[in-house]
């Protein structure tokens, strides 16, 4: 639910619910579940960050923890050809299917960031470090991030 924009019907129903008397209120709309899920994710991410050293992968932790100065916000990216080859190998699918999945996930991320956090997903100003995995590989990216965390921790 989180990685897709609300459909037209869901948006209309969410707006109409307020016009129905309480007695006739339908079960929670899918949009209510998305908001409940989002609130729970935000609480868990905040709790993890408050607990000390942690790695938060995805879920827009950079937006949720935007006010904090004691973290390193990293955006990992790669050219579409590299991503297509890696996703295709991982999912065992052809290049067209891999590209379609990448486009679906990227669009969902862009939409979710815009609609829920009023930010542009992948925009430089939202991150401290942007890393192209096609240049260093996945293991190399992990090494670069670990080094950056150690350097940032010494500064913070």
* Residue pLDDT, tens place only, 3-36: 555 665 555 555 555 555 544 555 556 567 778 8
Q: Which DSSP string corresponds to 75-89? A: EEE--HHHHHHHHHH
Give domain 8-155's CATH number out of 3.30.465.10, 3.40.50.300, 3.40.50.720, 3.30.420.40. 3.40.50.300
User: First CA to last CA across the chain, in angstroms?
Assistant: 36
* Residue pLDDT, tens place only, 100-109: 999 999 999 9
Domain ranges of the chain: 8-155
pTM: 0.73
């Amino acid at each position: 639910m989180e990685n897709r924009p609300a459909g037209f019907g869901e948006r209309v129903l969410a707006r109409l619910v307020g016009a129905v008397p309480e007695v006739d209120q339908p079960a929670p709309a899918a949009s209510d579940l998305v908001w409940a899920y989002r609130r729970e994710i935000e609480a868990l991410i905040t709790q993890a960050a408050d607990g000390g050293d942690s790695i938060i992968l995805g879920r827009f932790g950079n937006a949720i923890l935007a006010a904090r100065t004691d973290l390193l916000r990293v955006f990992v990216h790669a050219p579409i050809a590299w991503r297509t080859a890696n996703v295709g190998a991982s999912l065992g699918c052809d290049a067209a299917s891999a590209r379609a999945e990448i486009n679906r996930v990227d669009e969902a991320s862009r939409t979710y960031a815009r609609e829920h956090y009023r930010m542009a997903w992948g925009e430089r100003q939202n991150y401290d470090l942007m890393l192209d995995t096609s240049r260093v590989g996945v293991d190399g990216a992990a090494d670069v991030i670990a080094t950056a965390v150690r350097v940032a921790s010494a500064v913070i």
